[in-house]
Amino acid sequence: MSRTYIISHAEDVDGISSAAIALAANPGATFKLVDYNTFIRSLSKVPSDTTSLIICDLGASSVFQELIMKLRDLKKQMSITYIDHHPLNPDQIALLKHIGVKVIHDPVESASVLTYFTLEPAGAPCYYLPIYGAVTDYMDSGPKASYLIDRVHRHFALLESTLLSSAVAQGRTMRYRKYMVRELARGKYPHEIKSVVRNATATLRKDIKLSRYVEQHARITGNIASVNMPRGNNIPAGAKMTLGRPGVIVGIAYEQKRRGNTAMSLRGVSSCPVHLGDFIGEVARRVGGRGGGHRLAAGAKIPVKAVQTVITELSLKLK
C-alpha cells in the first residue's frame, strides 16, 4: 500500500496552500506543518512505512548538510519530492538530485504554484489554491502564477487570498492551521472555512493597533527601522509597518521568545541592495540561530543578545 507523508511550512499561506494542494492530490495522506526550527527534527519522525515523502516551501540552505544526511537515509525506504523556491545554489540542487531526490525549484514562483504544477490535483477550487500562496508571498507575477491568475476572477482570488493570510495571522495554533489545510484540500474556499472571516477581521483591528505601536516605538539605525514587539503580535506585519519612515530601506521586527531566543522578521523595500534571506541565514548561523528567506522578506530565530549584531552588520552593508 502506498502511504504519502507531506511536510510543509506552517508559518504562512504559501506553506499552508502547498500542504492543501499536496493533500488534495493525495487524499488520505498524512501531513505535518513545521517551521525552519522544527523542519530537520520532523524528518526523524517520518513513519517508516511511508512510500512517498513530499516536502514543500521549506528553505534549507542554512541546514543543508543536516538535510542531505536525513534525506539520504529516508531515500532508502521512500521516494522524496522536494518542492521549494527559497535560495538553493546549483551545487545543492545537484547534490539533492544525486542522492535520488526529485527537486522542483524555482525562485520566481511560490511553493504553492510549484506544488500545483508538480502534483496537478483536480477540481475547480484546487485551481485557486496556488494563487493564495503566490499572492501572499508577493510572487503572483511569476510566469506560472500569471498563467493561473489570468484564468480566474481576479478580485475574488485576491480577496480570498488576503482573507486567508489575515486569518492565518490570527489563528496561530497548529490545530487551527491543520484544520485549514484539511478544509482547503476538500475544496472549501477560505471564506467558507469556519472562523476565517471573523479571524481576518480581528487581524485588521489588531493591525491598526500594531501600526500605532510601531509608529511610537520604532528605532532608526542608518537606513534600518527596528522595533521590539510585545508578545503575540504578527512580527512580519510589524517589520513591514516600519518601512513607512522616510529613508528606511529595511524594517526589522522582533519578539522575545522563551529560553533567551528571539523571533525576527526582516522586510526590505524593492531598492534594497542586500539579499535579506542570504544575509540573515549567514548571520544566524554564526550566532547559533537559524534563519533564511527571500531577497526582501526573511526571518530568523536567534539569541536575544544577537539582535544588535544583526542591526549593526546590516546597517554597515546598507551604507
Question: By the criterion CB under 5 A, which residues form the site for Mn ion?
Answer: 14, 57, 111, 137
| Closer of 114 and 310 to Mn ion (Cβ) | 114
Is there a contact between 249 and 224 (Cβ–Cβ < 8 Å)?
yes
CB of 110 to Mn ion, least distance (A): 6
Q: Of 111 and 169, which CB lies nearer to Mn ion in the complex structure?
A: 111
CB 214 within 8 A of CB 254: no
Max Cα-Cα span within the chain: 60
CB of 8 to Mn ion, least distance (A): 10
Q: How far is the CB of 12 from Mn ion (least distance, A)?
A: 6
Residue 18 Cβ, how far from Mn ion at the closest point, in Å?
8
Residue 97 CA to residue 8 CA, distance in Å, equals 20
Edge-to-edge strand ranges of the sheet holding 4-9: 30-34, 4-9, 52-56, 79-84, 102-105
For Mn ion, give the closer residue by CB, 115 or 170.
115
Beta carbon nearer to Mn ion, 164 or 311 = 164
Q: Which is nearer to Mn ion, 137 or 207 (CB)?
A: 137
Name residue 254's beta-bridge partners.
228, 264
- Return the closest-CA partner of residue 186 out of 20, 1, 19, 8: 20
Nearer to Mn ion, 15 or 121 (CB): 15
Q: How far is the CB of 207 from Mn ion (least distance, A)?
A: 21
Shortest distance in whole angstroms from residue 287 CB to Mn ion: 24
Query: Which residue in 4, 221, 22, 187 sits closest to 120, CA to CA?
Result: 22
Task: Select 46 or 134, whichever has its Cβ closest to Mn ion.
Answer: 134
Give the separation between CA 246 and CA 233, rounded to whole angstroms: 24
Q: Which three cell numbers stand for residue 281?
A: 541565514
Name the pairing type of β-strands 219-221 and 224-228: antiparallel
SS3 252: strand
The contacts of residue 208 (CB under 8 Å, 6+ apart) are none
Closest approach, Cβ 54 to Mn ion, in A, equals 15
Distance CA 90, CA 109 (A): 17
For the bound state, the minimum distance from the C-beta of residue 134 to Mn ion, rounded and expressed in Å, comes to: 9
275 in Cβ contact with 286 (< 8 Å): no
Select the residue whose beta carbon is closest to Mn ion and give its number: 14
Q: How many residues does the chain have?
A: 319
Which of residues 57 and 207 has its CB atom nearest to Mn ion in the complex?
Answer: 57
